[in-house]
Amino acid sequence: MAAPTTRFRLIPQGTLTTAINTPAQRLATITGESIISTGLGNEASLGSVDILDAADNSNIITMLWDVTANNGCSVVQDFAIWLSSNGFDQAGSVAKLQALSGADQGAPANTENYIADAVIGNYTWITMPEEQPTINVWPSDEGIAMSTPSASDDVVMWAMYFAIAQSETSGIYRGLTTNFQLQLSFRYSYS
């Protein structure tokens, strides 16, 4: 069986909570979203950091992942996000992650409700592992699976940022005008 066709979408931090309150809204095109590539060319930008005087945090980004064509697969399940390598040389430089849901989950247990224009203090973060973990993100309905009659019935949504140590000297920096712009490419593995 072929792997499902999927997409990663970056949604603007100012997206109103009412724009992603339901599965149908999360699956629909969200104003200002960007489709993020699974390789070089259209990375998600986390902005720039200045670590000359102190440690610094990147911007927060909010991502959605969903199945656009099932290719014969009726369910997707057991979701996990990790870094293949963070590329940093300081233990204090890490990626942070929080699984999210929409306001349709009034009191979520495994996720936290999305907040427009969130700041770091709005969510409870975990450190993103650098090897495949057990489940650490969930569909927005907090299940462990999404049915895919043709496409998925909801999305996996998460927020993330990088905390960069002051003494960091290497890492996954890219950019035309600065040495400290953080960008990520995303890919998914299906088995």
Is 82 among the domain residues?
yes
Query: How many independent structural domains does the chain possess?
Result: 1
Is 189 among the domain residues?
no
Are the C-beta atoms of 105 and 140 separated by less than 8 Å?
A: yes
Range of the domain at 56: 5-184
Distance CA 153, CA 10 (A): 19
Report strand pairing: 112-113 vs 94-101. parallel
* 3-class SS of residue 122: helix
Distance CA 28, CA 9 (A): 11
Give the pLDDT confidence of 126-148 residue by residue, as tens digits: 999 888 888 888 888 888 888 99
Is 190 among the domain residues?
no
Is 35 among the domain residues?
yes
Is 191 among the domain residues?
no
Q: What are phi and psi of 182, to 5 degrees?
A: -100, 130
Are the C-beta atoms of 34 and 42 separated by less than 8 Å?
A: yes
Are the C-beta atoms of 73 and 153 separated by less than 8 Å?
A: no
Is 50 among the domain residues?
yes
Q: Residue 36: which pLDDT band, with cuts at 50, 70 and 90? A: confident
Q: What is the pTM of this model?
A: 0.88
> What is the model's pLDDT at position 158?
94
Q: Residue 174: which pLDDT band, with cuts at 50, 70 and 90? A: very low
Q: To the nearest whole percent, how much of the chain has pLDDT over 70?
A: 85
What 3 state SS string does 19-74 have? Answer: HCCCHHHHHCCCCCCEEECCCCCCCEEEEECCCCCCCEECCCEEEEEEEEECCCCC
44: closest CA among 89, 95, 117, 78? 95
CA distances from 11 to 30, 67, 102, 159, 169 (A): 7, 17, 13, 10, 30
